Structure 1
Amino acid sequence: MTPPPSARDRRARLLGAGGLLLGLALLLLGASTGSTGIDAVWQALDDEFARRIVLDIRLPRSLGSWLAGALLALAGGIAQGLFRNPLADPYLLGSASGASLGVAGWLMLFGGSPATLQWLARLGLTGAAFAGATAGVLLTLVLAGGVRHRLRLLLAGVIVGMVLGSASSLIALLTPEILQAMQAFMLGSTGFIGWAGCGVMAGGLALCLAVALLLARMLDALALGETTALSLGLPLGAMRAALIGALALATGCAVAQTGLVAFVGLVAPHLVRARIRTTHGPMLLLSAITGGALLLAADLFARWIIRPQELPVGSVTAVIGGGYLLWLMHRGRGLDE
């Protein structure tokens, strides 16, 4: 006989349902928001041109924003649980600097004449960003000697981030014509997400979420200390490697489509923990739902505030996320709650 859900479980389910409904409402609002303001989606049913705008531009952009936010928030929740550090974010292991270097290298070599190598031209900036993010994480793992030592991983991630970030800055300095494109990538943008990008991110989210939920009990055990986790007979090495793989894949999928969007992966798990104390399984799922709504709301604000122009969505999330963390510190609650 299945035991009745506890009050905490009921609260988690209500928060999840509320977050999904909020995301759906924001998705409908995103489909209605253009450069001239807000219009009714159903008006597009009688206008072929308006229908193409809604179906081919606004809907994939809005859905892609939600998926990217969910991926970053899931990666942030995994990182904070894995490293037992409330300041851990998805870019901790060198994925952001690796993606920047991949984009800078692609723009330097093929930005002027992409036809020089047709297969690389088809790969494009999205593939370069994903490959760079993956390479950054792999380099961190090599420098750390694997996944066994948490502090060595953190230190290796910092070193890789500094080195690869400096390399991308040097490339941009030596190739001034790519500075504008690099700036757009560094500030983050959801304006180029299409249905193909949504499909990639949806598949990545499903896979990473499945891995994270399957290994959530290990994160619960790690919260009690590695000695306790080992005493329970958990294969920490293999499980830690799987979680780092999910973290890297989630971050790479999001960064490849949107560029570097700040603070979503860091703030979303804190927003969840501020509302409910629960185990890592529900927390990771709620973090993904919260992160999706957060980035989609930031994207709507970036589209609306100075229309017909747009703000970089990464700047909006940095202001919102940084302001929230400063508010937490001002209240004296700290970042470990």
Structure 2
Amino acid sequence: MAQRVRGVVAAGKGEPVRIETIVIPDPGPGEAVVKIQACGVCHTDLHYREGGINDDFPFLLGHEAAGIVESVGDGVTEVAPGDFVILNWRAVCGQCRACRRGRPWYCFDTHNAKQRMTLEDGTELSPALGIGAFADKTLVAAGQCTKVDPAASPAAAGLLGCGVMAGLGAAVNTGNVSRGDTVAVIGCGGVGNAAVMGSRLAGASRIIAVDIDDAKLATAQRLGATHTVNSRSGDPVEAIRELTGGFGADVVIEAVGHPETYRQAFYARDLAGTVVLVGVPTPQMQLELPLLDVFGRGGSLKSSWYGDCLPSRDFPVLVDLYLQGRLDLDAFVSETIALDQVEEAFTKMQKGEVLRSVVML
């Protein structure tokens, strides 16, 4: 029988979000209903509200979540009712050319639940990133549920569902940061600071955090940065070179998604170094670089989508590291809030006052 729950809905471009009654159908084949315990407020949710993703309003927002599987549909074997899970927006197909080549983290045919959640009047909702977790419960594809150790705090674990995984994976999975490497991270919001933490976890010898906000740089230091650069007060490329013996960093992670900061990342890396773009640009942005410089500097220019993660592989390992005290996910939880405080959380996020506000349900 369909259930009625509360959910945070963006009804139109730029409109303040509001709490609506959401109708959740019983899970069909390959689907699961999850009772949400915690969901982080991510910039992507704000992009949805502002029409920056698409115009398929109304949106059921929220996607950085953890909770308990309540029920599953036919054919579901990977999770069962009662499992504590982190939700992800990359349920891999197992059949596409990337999956068949043993690279499921690049899956080209990821999927979500086939059924749609609705408003009470039958209006179909578009769940953010196929999840829609600013709600008491949500319907997802079972492959979007990754079972992890239930001893983990839902507020901390849920952040692996998007921002923390994106940044940490940009360092560990995409950038292949290893022991002794020098790393620079440009942009120290939630994703950038997760990249700092991932670089420390991988054993980088020098981690240089770059931002225009001293408060964010202070947070980066707490999470593992060995040096900080405020790019308002000088050229960050020259600063990074000075801190790396004049050579540039082995890996530079761009967590802003802007042509100017990408150019800084490109020229701040060592010869044969790696640039990783994990910041999300807008569709209008264009990048221009001298092709001779791209050729002559060698190395790798990579994009990192969701930290090139495979949730079934990465989430349990990272939760275990968290429970061992080796990965401080709690440091990303700036505050816990109620479901009706999401709009206020967007304002705090835009002002740079929080790493993550987390809705507790």
**TM-score interval, normalised by the smaller of the two chains:** under 0.3
Normalising by structure 1, we get a TM-score of 0.27
The structure where strand makes up a greater share of residues is 2
Compare the two structures and name the one with the higher helix fraction. Answer: 1
TM-score, normalised by the number of residues in structure 2: 0.26
RCO higher in structure (CA 8 A, sep ≥6): 1
